[in-house]
């Protein structure tokens, strides 16, 4: 019975955070000094919180649900959603695994840093071998690189574009989500405990 109540709590938390992540993904915006097709959003934040609250699998599930819902109205032909899911899963999964075995403030900090670095580093691989070649079927690769080169002429190859622009972009995104998570996770975790207690009391009636 205890396991059943715990599972209900986890499912509820995942559902709530998936809804928040989906909303945040729609609230994307452009930031200066990067091409206009690189949009910033905070939808990785609920994934990170979910990974801390219910484990790495929970964080990955939130990333999956968020992108499945977003794909229904997206104009990226699913490419953007797949890329977002993969990087979000790396971020939340890595951080969640570390925090699972070191559930302290220091552990959370290490988890956030390692998760952010892993996401930024592997973004080169995913973008170079999958995302941009897929987008090149709809927009010539020369045009994609030209968008970067118009900001910085030295970015004259796809690899340079990714290293100069995408990696810092992803690092900033991960670090900002991490900072916010570190600030709000403690009060949120208390809410999750109360939620679990509420389910426990209902089960006793």
Distance in angstroms (rounded) separating the CA atoms of residues 66 and 84: 10
CATH for 105 = 1.10.1760.20
pLDDT score, position 148: 94
pLDDT score, position 3: 63
* Residue 160 falls inside a structural domain: no
* Residue 33 falls inside a structural domain: no
* Residue 16 falls inside a structural domain: yes
Q: For the segment 108-159, what is each residue's pLDDT rounded down to a tens digit?
A: 999 999 999 999 999 999 999 999 999 888 889 999 999 999 999 999 999 9
What are the CA-CA distances from residue 133 to residues 36, 82, 123 (Å)? 18, 13, 14
What is the pTM (predicted TM-score) of this model?
0.89
pLDDT score, position 159: 96
pLDDT score, position 8: 82
* Residue 158 falls inside a structural domain: no
What are the CA-CA distances from residue 61 to residues 11, 50, 119, 124, 184 (Å)? 10, 9, 17, 23, 21
Residues of the chain short of pLDDT 70, as ranges, are 1-5, 195-205
* Residue 60 falls inside a structural domain: yes
pLDDT score, position 165: 95
Strands 29-30 and 39-40, how do they pair?
A: antiparallel
* Residue 166 falls inside a structural domain: no
* Residue 169 falls inside a structural domain: no
Q: Cβ contacts of residue 30 below 8 Å, gap of 6+?
A: 36, 38, 39, 40
* Residue 89 falls inside a structural domain: yes
Distance in angstroms (rounded) separating the CA atoms of residues 101 and 108: 10
Q: How many domains does the chain have?
A: 1
Residue range of the domain that includes 192: 2-26+39-120+176-204
pLDDT score, position 77: 74
What are the CA-CA distances from residue 4 to residues 7, 11, 46, 196, 203 (Å)? 5, 11, 24, 11, 10
């Amino acid at each position: 019975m205890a396991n059943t109540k715990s599972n209900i709590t986890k499912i509820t938390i995942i559902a709530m955070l998936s809804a928040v992540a989906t909303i945040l993904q729609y609230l994307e915006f452009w930031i200066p000094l990067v091409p206009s097709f690189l949009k910033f959003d905070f939808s990785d934040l609920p994934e990170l919180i979910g990974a801390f609250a219910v484990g790495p699998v929970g964080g990955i599930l939130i990333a999956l649900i968020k992108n499945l819902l977003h794909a229904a109205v997206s104009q990226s032909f699913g490419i953007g959603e797949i890329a977002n899911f993969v990087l979000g899963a790396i971020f939340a999964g890595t951080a969640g695994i570390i925090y699972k075995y070191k559930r302290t403030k220091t552990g959370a900090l290490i988890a956030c840093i390692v998760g952010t670095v892993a996401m930024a580093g592997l973004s080169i691989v995913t973008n170079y071998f999958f995302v941009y070649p897929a987008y090149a079927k709809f927009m010539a690769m020369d045009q994609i690189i030209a968008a970067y080169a118009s900001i910085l002429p030295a970015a004259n190859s796809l690899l340079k574009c990714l290293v100069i622009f995408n990696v810092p972009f992803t690092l900033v995104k991960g670090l900002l989500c991490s900072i916010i998570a570190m600030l709000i996770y403690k009060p949120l975790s208390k809410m999750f405990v109360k939620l679990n207690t509420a389910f426990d009391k209902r089960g006793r009636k």
